Structure 1
Amino acid sequence: MKKITLVLFLMSSSLALAQITFDWEANNTSDVNGNITHANGDFNVTASKNLTNDFIVQFGGNTGGTSGNVLFSNDGIDVATFTFNDALNVDTFRVVNVSGSSSNFELTFSPSDGAGNMDVVITYAQNESKVVNLNWSRVTSFTVTAVEVGGGSSRPVLLFDDLNVTLPPTTTTFDWEENAGYPSGDIYSIEHSKNGITVTAKNIGDANFVVVEDFSSFNVGLTGNVFYTTDGVSLQGCTFTFSQPVNIVSMLTRNAIIAPIGTFRLTYSTTDGVGNNDVTLNYPENTTQPVNFNWTGVTSFLVTFVNVNAPNQRPKIAFDDLIVTTGTLSTEKNTLTDTKLYPNPVNDILNISSVTTIDHVSVYNMLGKEVVRTKYSSVDVSGLSSGVYIVKINSDNKVLTKRIIKQ
């Protein structure tokens, strides 16, 4: 029996991406309207259609690469709708055309929601089976619409199996608007809690931090409360420590000194996670800049300051909108130990060595969305933006996951 699979990626962060397969093997219920709901753990998908006969679940005879039960309707498909009980990332779906007609059919897979999700159009010949790569994020429902190529009125008889989805990452923005304060009277630290995660920000030196109301009134690119130091004279840097491992996406930082005392160089660094690189930015006086980290598996990070023109000067720094995620991709233990990926960092072509058989290679961004898929040992990543990506190599029922840096 196929079942929910939790891929546990073994690294210091202990973060994981939950992969779920809806395969209609068990836990199927139908309602008075003929809709079938299939449950897998805490998640379910309801299949409905607008033609006369209802969906049924039956053994598929291993037709077209299916296994076990399939979702089926013998009067054909006009429009089928699949609805989830929660927003999910939709990865792949196996669909088999078992129509008696020799006509070709065009199937359009359309998501109802999710930013940036596009329709996928696939043409099916008679008795053709395909795994459709959808690669949608945060979808609550989608439709499959079938039309006969050439304008005929026939409808295909389709088998549906192995709808693979993943859980979207949980995004938390630490904005210091609420649930923020001094821990146990320590005026040199600020704790802020959201979504079950606590971040503790602490200065290095004897400058205390405060939460400032209505910082947006200064019209400097920050809104509402910010995390701010009132004394820049002795400030040497600050640390941010989390109550659990997180992936750090970005943060807004402002050099709040107005006087023309020169540019401050801020370096952001972390000692944990794999492949997390330092980020260095220059801040002239009275300027705000976003910082893009793309760090994974982080429990703390350090921000240090130096004045480019006058090393003894110290800034007054304000922080806002620290964005983190949990539940996304990280790196699992290698099961293909001799495999190498090179060059890394990579600009255009990523090469894979020491793999005799490749079923497929998938490249994921740090939100868990597949952005490249191929069956070759040379992977073209030239179209990807700079940043950190996860590469999953499937070979002989084994999986290797590694991190790469796209320059």
Structure 2
Amino acid sequence: MLDAAIPALLRRFIGPLVQRGELAIALPGGEKLVFGDGTAPRAHIRFTDRTAVVAMLRDPDLQFGELFMDQRLRVEEGTVYDVLELLLRDDRDVPPNAFVRMLDAWRMRLRPVLQHNLPGKSRANVAHHYDLDDRLYELFLDAGRQYSCAYFERGDEDLETAQRAKQRHIAAKLLVEPHHRVLDIGCGWGGMARYLAGVAGAAHVTGITLSQEQLAHARRLGEDTAFADRLDYRLEDYRHTPGRFERIVSVGMFEHVGVGFYDTFFQRCRQLLTDDGVMLLHFIGNSDVPDFNNPWIEKYIFPGGHIPSLSECTPAIERSGLVVTDIEVLRLHYARTLRLWRERFMARRAEAAALYDERFCRMWEFYLSMSEAAFRFQEIAIFQIQLAVRQENVPLTRDYVAVREKALRLREAALEVAAEVPETA
């Protein structure tokens, strides 16, 4: 009876989603279903066994990625990104059915447990993703190892140019001066800290991370700079950082804090900032109502992570005593970033397979593809929130951002010229 019902269930659930393009689905019994209007993009998938189809119908948010990883769902025409585009680009117009609403409600109730990110759990969560073989990230990131959304001033820049523009944009908003001490919370491989010290001219930059691999790389590159004495990288939780700083920056780390710790995070930032302090928080955000972390991402990629809505984090900011002085929403910039990462990863996929295995490569392809599709077709964007201890710490209008970006661009050019001039005896 179930075998006979499967085609009808697929038509019921997938039919409303795929109105444009073409998605063909081959079932284990030989039946083929076709959805859409026959235009591009076109993709063809095949289920290898009946239980795979049942799993997909029961929990598509988790099972689609798992089935693709295990090759029980095979993409035989197009790419997995094409399949996701067909399924996601119009899904906001399709109301969820009763079963999906029940599953979503259950996952919302699980959020406090999954995101209970005490220091020990936070370190374990970070190690799960960021302490992978360091050579993996060389395959698709830019030379400066920026593992966060790039900033496309025109839209057609290469990855290196767009990542440098991101650093410049953030540094301009931070209003860094030569006497400033800067804290970089979640410094990754240290690229933002090096920019703030080497180009923006900060007196000292402290970068903290919970990843052993990132720390080693950041220290290695920092030691090779002419301003190594102004850099300090530490394996440290933000809750344990001592001292005071005129500026704080955090890029791509807030997604790992957990909803239950937002008050702790912003209160600690307030304690760390001096009275003339300014902070720039760059993070993946949800432009819709609060939601749960995608279960496949939670299980395989970023355990303990969360994409917050502004309504979840701004109350904690208000309670901390910090003042919101600017909010910018970067729409589609991360979709473009992820497209470039995916293309670079797929071009060097054999090297990733040599480091891990084919299943890992399918997992990584799905991760990059699903993330790009989410930023392109769903309510996911980048939020940049500028915060200050006092509202007069930031200029009256936003004109200063362009002025400072121009000055930073000139400094970058001067440093590049200086690096090309050979030393004289």
Superposition TM-score tier, normalisation by shorter sequence: under 0.3
TM-score (norm 2): 0.24
TM-score, normalising length: structure 1: 0.25
Structure with more relative contact order (C-alpha pairs < 8 Å, separation 6 or more): 2
Rg comparison, structure with higher value: 1
Structure with more of its chain in strand, by fraction: 1
